[in-house]
Amino acid sequence: MIDLHTHTTCSDGTDSPFALVKKALSTGVTTLAITDHDTTAGWSEAITALQPQIELVLGAEISCLTSDGISVHMLGLLFDGENAAMQQILADSRDTRIPRMRKMVELLRADGIDISLADVQAQTPAGATVGRPHLADALVRKGVVASRDEAFLNLLNNESKYYVTHAAPTPVEAIRAIHAAGGVAVIAHPFASRRGQIITSETFADLVAAGLNGIEVDHRDQNAEERKTLREIAQELNLVITGSSDYHGTGKLNAMAENTTLAAQWEALEAQADARRVVRV
């Protein structure tokens, strides 16, 4: 059972990296990728939880923006965590997320919503990449909304007047950086239209030219029709097809391994990485 996209308390998941691996073990996952937003901070702790029956794929989900301002998430897997250029991209994203959060809070306050940056910080685990889910949790805490989902639906989605962006590479820049660090790039939930504007089918050719390796097809935010189109694009462009849970602990409904990747697809993907960086004990 192969799950190539999960989050921990190092971003907006609710399981620690150690607990994530334990959860994967109890679920029967045999290949697990840890892909926190814009950070590799969870890698070392996750490794300490490994058992012989599971292998760990070190990765990150890089928040990107196209030149048209469309949000794209790029999964970087099997890259060298000590690559300076890669760490700089991740650090720039994290650093600008703090002033970005301050702006979002100010916009909400200006509309009479009782929320402060301190409220958001209280919901953000130490060292985590701060994001809208933490702001959502703070709004739940304050009684402004009932759930993270309601917060996104009414206040925090990409189309909302309270939405502010942070520094982000373009998808092409992210792919190049992942490759330069020896890894492989899989575009996450490209047709998850309920989150906001999505890229068009034509865009994939540019990403492939930059070195895109795979497309996350099976993901809960993509319906049957969207998955069918993506599968066709992947076949046409000779890209690996993945499926994954995007597990966030109790932060989201996504259950560990609710979508998985076929062994042959994973083997094809791993073979495209520069070095074998899958961690086993």
Closest CB 11 distance from Zn ion, rounded Å: 6
| Cα–Cα distance for residue pair 133/21, rounded to 1 Å | 22
Residue 157's binding partner among Zn ion, Fe ion, ligand AMP, none (Cβ under 5 to 8 angstroms by kind) is: ligand AMP
For ligand AMP, which is the closer residue by CB, 55 or 106? 106
79 half-sphere exposure, CB direction, 13 A CA radius: 31
Member of 3, 12, 38, 218 binding Zn ion (CB under 5 A): 12
The separation between the first and the last C-alpha atoms of the chain, rounded to the nearest angstrom, is: 18
* Nearest CB to ligand AMP, comparing residues 152 and 270: 152
CB of 219 to Zn ion, least distance (A): 12
Helix (H) or strand (E) holding 208: helix 203-210
Stretch that binds Zn ion, among 10-18, 87-95, 111-119, 201-209 (CB under 5 A): 10-18
Which element (helix H / strand E) includes 218? Answer: strand 214-218
Least separation in angstroms between CB 12 and Fe ion:
8
Residues that bind ligand AMP (CB under 6 A): 12, 37, 63, 131-133, 149, 152, 157, 194-195
The phi, psi pair for 6, rounded to 5°, reads -145, 160
Residue type present at position 192: A
Number of residues that bind Zn ion (CB under 5 A): 1
Residue 38 touching Zn ion (CB under 5 A)? no
- Least CB distance to ligand AMP at residue 178 (A): 18
Q: Which is nearer to Zn ion, 185 or 234 (CB)?
A: 185
Residues paired with 63 in a beta bridge = 73
Residue ranges in contact with Fe ion by CB under 5 A: 61, 73, 188, 246
Number of H helices, E strands in the chain: 10, 7
User: How far apart are alpha carbons 213 and 79 in whole angstroms?
Assistant: 13
Q: Smallest distance, Å, CB 248 to Fe ion?
A: 7
Query: Using CB atoms, what's the residue nearest to Zn ion?
Result: 12
Residue 188: which of Zn ion, ligand AMP, Fe ion, none does it interact with, CB under 5 to 8 A by kind? Fe ion
Sign of CA dihedral 280, 5, 96, 115: negative
Classified as helix, coil or strand, 65 is strand
* Residue recorded with tokens 């970087």: 76
* Phi-psi map region of 243: left, alpha, beta (phi>0 left; psi -120 to 50 alpha): beta
**Residue least distant from ligand AMP (Cβ):** 131
Query: Toward ligand AMP, which CB reaches closer, 160 or 213?
Result: 160
Stretch that binds Zn ion, among 4-12, 63-71, 172-180, 267-275 (CB under 5 A): 4-12
Identity of the residue, 56 or 168, whose beta carbon is nearer to ligand AMP in the bound complex: 168
CA dist 116 and 123 (Å) reads 11
Residue 54 and residue 24 in contact, taking contact as beta carbons nearer than 8 Å: yes
The CB-of-277 to Zn ion minimum distance in angstroms stands at 23
Q: Which residues of the chain form contacts with Zn ion (CB under 5 A)?
A: 12
